[in-house]
């Protein structure tokens, strides 16, 4: 038996069963302090920006200002404008090429790394949207901010979606000559409005 076959056989023998129950209780972290403030600090460290709203009536005004007349997709239904693109009318993905801004509600935010959980339902099954726009604007309820990823997975429970992802700020890479490039694989700017 060659070494490749021996290694693959060992992997198969030690592969966990589908019924493996992961016990997250060993990762319990006593949460002290303000998770919303911690979330905002993590987001700033990631290169994003947070706005905390205590009055939701100002949401439309803030979003209109952030869009700045650019073509956008609003999956929240807050903004009505001639610049808005209705994704239900899109036949070919190339029709989204000019969209510059995405507005979407996040299901869950994670304070330790400023991640936001998105899934098919929130994106109206247009999975490419958070990755092709130049500016992403997420609206997340303060009550849905959890301290850590362990808490996030406990909160999400059994994930019943065909697509889900955590997004934690604008796209960044330093692979090429160790120079930081913003927006290489996704958005250049990332705003989270905490309501």
Q: What is the pLDDT of residue 190?
A: 83
Closest Cα partner for 116 from 34, 50, 25? 50
Distance CA 195, CA 193 (A): 6
Return the percentage of the chain with pLDDT > 70, whole number. Answer: 90
């979606």: which residue's tokens? 161
Higher pLDDT, 9 or 81: 9
Query: Which pLDDT does position 116 carry in this prediction?
Result: 92
Helix (H) or strand (E) holding 66: helix 59-67
Q: Which residue has the tokens 């803030």?
A: 62
Q: What's residue 7's pLDDT?
A: 92
Q: What is the pLDDT of residues 23-80, one digit of tens each?
A: 655 555 555 668 888 888 888 888 888 888 888 788 888 888 888 888 888 888 887 7
Tokens of 189: 């700017």
| CATH architecture assigned to 33-194 | 3-Layer(aba) Sandwich (3.40)
pLDDT given for residue 129 in this prediction: 83
Residue 20 clears pLDDT 80, i.e. is over it: no
pLDDT surpassing 90 at residue 140: yes
HSE-up of residue 50 (Cα within 13 Å, Cβ side)? 25
Give the CA angle between residues 169, 174, 175 to the nearest 5°. Answer: 125
Q: How many angstroms from the chain centroid is the CA of residue 58?
A: 23
Residue 88 makes CB contacts below 8 A (sequence gap 6+) with 124
Residues 47 and 187 sit within 8 Å (Cβ to Cβ): no
């Amino acid at each position: 038996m060659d070494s490749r076959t021996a290694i693959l056989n060992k992997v198969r023998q030690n592969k966990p069963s589908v019924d493996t129950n992961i016990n997250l209780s060993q990762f319990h972290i006593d949460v002290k302090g303000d998770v919303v403030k911690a979330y905002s600090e993590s987001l700033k460290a990631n290169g994003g920006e947070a706005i905390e709203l205590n009055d939701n009536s100002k949401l439309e005004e803030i979003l209109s200002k952030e869009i700045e007349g650019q073509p956008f997709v609003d999956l929240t239904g807050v903004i009505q404008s001639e610049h808005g693109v209705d994704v239900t009318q899109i036949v070919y993905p190339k029709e989204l090429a000019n969209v510059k801004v995405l507005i979407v509600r996040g299901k869950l935010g994670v304070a330790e790394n400023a991640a936001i959980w998105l899934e098919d339902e929130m994106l109206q099954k247009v999975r490419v949207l958070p990755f092709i726009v130049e500016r992403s604007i997420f609206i997340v309820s303060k009550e849905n901010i959890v301290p850590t990823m362990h808490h996030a997975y406990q909160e999400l429970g059994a994930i019943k979606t065909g697509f889900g992802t955590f997004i934690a700020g604008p796209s960044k890479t330093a692979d090429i000559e160790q120079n930081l490039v913003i927006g290489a694989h996704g958005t250049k700017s990332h705003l989270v409005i905490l309501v």
